[in-house]
Amino acid sequence: MFTANPFADLTAFFPPALMQAYVALMMLAVVGGTLFDVVHKRSGQYFSEYRAKTKSRATRAVGSGEAASMALKTLLVEVATAGEFCNQQRRISHLFLFYGFITYLLTTFVMVFCYLGEDVVTPAIVPVLWNIGALMVLIGGTWFFFLLRVDVSHEMHSPFRLVRADIFIVSLLASVSFALLWEIAKATPYTALAGVLLTLYIFATTFLFFSVPWSKFAHMFYKPVMAYQRRVEEADGSSSLPPPADRREEGA
């Protein structure tokens, strides 16, 4: 069950081109939603104005080689290892979510675009990774949602109290949950249940990608940019923040 392409059976009801068009539409929804978010919230304008102010405070120029090195460090520290998190539990939860979501997305893309059609065999590792990615999202997401959210862990609100900031995590958890439940139901004689779960899976996934302008989805793209900007400010002397504690101790 977990080694077979879960989308292959759908070709009996939907042509592969339709499923491929749906996945492409979801990717376009992310791009369009992020651009809408940038324009609507004027975050692009704010960043441009903020960068101009920091440049005016710079005490030295940053060369292209140094800028490339800082970009690489940003990818390795803030993106790949979630180094911006001081709380170790939040960091581990974030890494489960990040790598699980990436794995879930990439394997979905591969199975839909490369392994649909008659006499096409999907390598077992691909659906296995799809399931692992979904489970990683569930582990990291439920851990974060029920225990690590600020309004739950610090403000002592009920974990079932939802605000707009929770749209992304709730819809993501719903998407992977219904995906796994649908995959399990397909292996049972309860075809009606499988159909209901498939419908819920499609609805949750569509909502996840089309709610980008109102959720925290776009933050995945903003955070690396701001992390890189902080490194540039520290390097060119334009930062208005005090240096990190370890650097202050070194200079003492």
The mean predicted confidence, pLDDT, of the chain is: 87
CATH of the domain at 199: 1.20.950
The amino acid sitting at 161 is R
Question: Is 252 contained in some domain?
Answer: no
Tokens standing for 167?
């749209």
Question: Is 249 contained in some domain?
Answer: no
Q: What is the pLDDT of residues 146-197, one digit of tens each?
A: 988 876 666 667 777 888 888 999 999 999 999 999 999 999 999 999 999 9
Question: Is 18 contained in some domain?
Answer: yes
Q: What is the pLDDT of residues 54-106, one digit of tens each?
A: 888 888 888 889 989 999 999 888 888 888 788 889 899 999 999 999 999 99
Q: How confident is the model at residue 246 (pLDDT cuts 50, 70, 90)?
A: very low
Question: Is 149 contained in some domain?
Answer: yes
Question: Is 80 contained in some domain?
Answer: yes
Question: Is 48 contained in some domain?
Answer: no
Question: Is 118 contained in some domain?
Answer: yes
The per-residue pLDDT for 58 is: 86
Could you list the residue range(s) of the whole structural domain that residue 192 is in? 8-42+63-235
Question: Is 58 contained in some domain?
Answer: no
The per-residue pLDDT for 133 is: 97
Q: How confident is the model at residue 243 (pLDDT cuts 50, 70, 90)?
A: low
Q: What is the pLDDT of residues 11-27, one digit of tens each?
A: 988 999 999 999 999 99
The per-residue pLDDT for 251 is: 43
The per-residue pLDDT for 184 is: 95
Task: Count the domains in the chain.
Answer: 1
- What does the pLDDT average to over 129-137? 97
The per-residue pLDDT for 120 is: 86
The per-residue pLDDT for 78 is: 85
Q: How confident is the model at residue 245 (pLDDT cuts 50, 70, 90)?
A: low
Report the candidate in 143, 179, 154, 167 with the shortest Cα–Cα distance to residue 219.
Answer: 167
The per-residue pLDDT for 34 is: 86
The per-residue pLDDT for 153 is: 63
Number of Cβ atoms within 10 Å of the Cβ of 132: 17
Q: What is the pLDDT of residues 191-231, one digit of tens each?
A: 999 999 999 999 999 999 999 888 877 777 778 888 888 88
103 vs 38 pLDDT, higher one = 103
The per-residue pLDDT for 249 is: 45
Contact 182, 203 (CB under 8 A): no
